[in-house]
């Protein structure tokens, strides 16, 4: 083997080593960049989580809400429309808000996880329109008080004009009725509500 061939082989080795080293550096820089982006995303998500759970009014919190976890109350809910029970157990009504919701495929127990959260907010998260006159399903079907039928509210067996501003407390029983029920039928609904188990 001549000097010329030896020199060409050495140059090839050096070129290969240089290319290989440059490729390794490039791959290392890409990996560092990707890991840096992931670290920034994880850090930002951690920051959002901490501010949401530790400070009132964190990102996404309802107006006037306390810190997530500042309370954990349960209340039973029964909604009767023309005598039929409206069920909240379907996935369409499960955990629509971290602050107040139905969970575990149960549609009878309200779970409230912060102070300052009222029933009006619960129904907003479920896309159910509710005021002192009308109960409006997500599909737009309305049940409004008229001469023949009334929308009525009961909290712990006491009739109230509106429930939107009410904040549930542990063990509360909330009844919403639409129809032309007799006092005996209302009494039967209240008894049914009292017999509902709270799922904790």
pLDDT tens, position by position, 189-199:
999 999 999 99
Q: Could you tell me if 78 and 120 lie in one domain? A: yes
Structural domains in the chain (count): 2
Q: Could you tell me if 84 and 164 lie in one domain? A: yes
CA 8 to chain centre: 69
End-to-end alpha carbon distance in the chain: 86
Residue 20 domain boundaries: 1-54
H/E stretch holding 86: none
pLDDT in tens, 39-61: 777 766 666 665 554 445 555 67
Q: Is the pLDDT of residue 97 over 80?
A: yes
Output the pLDDT for position 53: 47
CA 187 to chain centre: 33
Residue 159 belongs to domain with CATH number: 2.170.130
Helix, coil or strand: residue 75: strand
Q: Is the pLDDT of residue 36 over 80?
A: no
Q: Could you tell me if 77 and 24 lie in one domain? A: no
Q: Could you tell me if 127 and 34 lie in one domain? A: no
- Sign for the pseudo-dihedral over CA of 116, 117, 119, 124: positive
Of 69, 88, 65, 73, the closest CA to residue 172 belongs to: 73
Output the pLDDT for position 63: 86
pLDDT in tens, 103-136: 999 999 999 999 999 999 999 999 999 999 999 9
Output the pLDDT for position 55: 45
- Give the confidence band of 16 by pLDDT, cuts at 50, 70, 90: low
- Give the confidence band of 200 by pLDDT, cuts at 50, 70, 90: confident
Please, what is the average pLDDT of the chain? 87
Higher pLDDT, 94 or 10: 94
Order of strands, sheet of 142-144, starting from the edge strand that comes earlier in the sequence:
129-130, 134-136, 142-144
Output the pLDDT for position 54: 46
- Classify residue 166 by burial, with Cβ atoms within 10 Å: 0-12, 13-18, 19+: middle
Output the pLDDT for position 43: 66
Q: Could you tell me if 121 and 156 lie in one domain? A: yes
Cα pseudo-dihedral 15, 18, 23, 27, rounded to 10: 170
Write out the DSSP string of 123-181. HHHTT-EE-SSEEE-TTS-EEE--SS-EEEEEETTEEES--TTPPP-TTEEEEEEEE--
Output the pLDDT for position 159: 98
Output the pLDDT for position 50: 55
Q: Could you tell me if 125 and 187 lie in one domain? A: yes
Q: Could you tell me if 21 and 106 lie in one domain? A: no
Q: What is the DSSP letter of 112?
A: E
């Amino acid at each position: 083997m001549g000097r010329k061939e030896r020199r060409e082989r050495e140059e090839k080795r050096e070129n290969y080593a240089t290319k290989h080293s440059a490729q390794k550096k490039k791959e290392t820089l890409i990996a560092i960049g990707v890991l840096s982006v992931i670290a920034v995303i994880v850090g930002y998500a951690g920051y959002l989580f901490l501010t949401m759970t530790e400070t009132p009014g964190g990102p996404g919190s309802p107006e006037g809400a306390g810190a997530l976890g500042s309370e954990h109350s349960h209340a039973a809910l029964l909604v009767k429309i023309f005598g039929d029970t409206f069920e909240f157990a379907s996935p369409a009504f499960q955990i629509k808000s971290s602050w107040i919701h139905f969970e575990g495929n149960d549609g009878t127990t309200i779970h409230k996880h912060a102070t300052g959260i009222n029933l009006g907010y619960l129904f907003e998260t479920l896309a159910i329109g509710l005021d002192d006159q009308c109960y409006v399903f997500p599909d737009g079907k309305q049940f409004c008080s008229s001469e023949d039928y009334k929308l009525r509210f009961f909290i712990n067996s006491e009739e109230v004009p509106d429930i939107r501003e009410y904040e549930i407390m542990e063990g509360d029983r909330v009844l919403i009725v639409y129809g032309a029920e007799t006092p005996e039928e209302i009494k039967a609904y209240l008894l049914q509500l009292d017999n509902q188990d709270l799922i904790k």
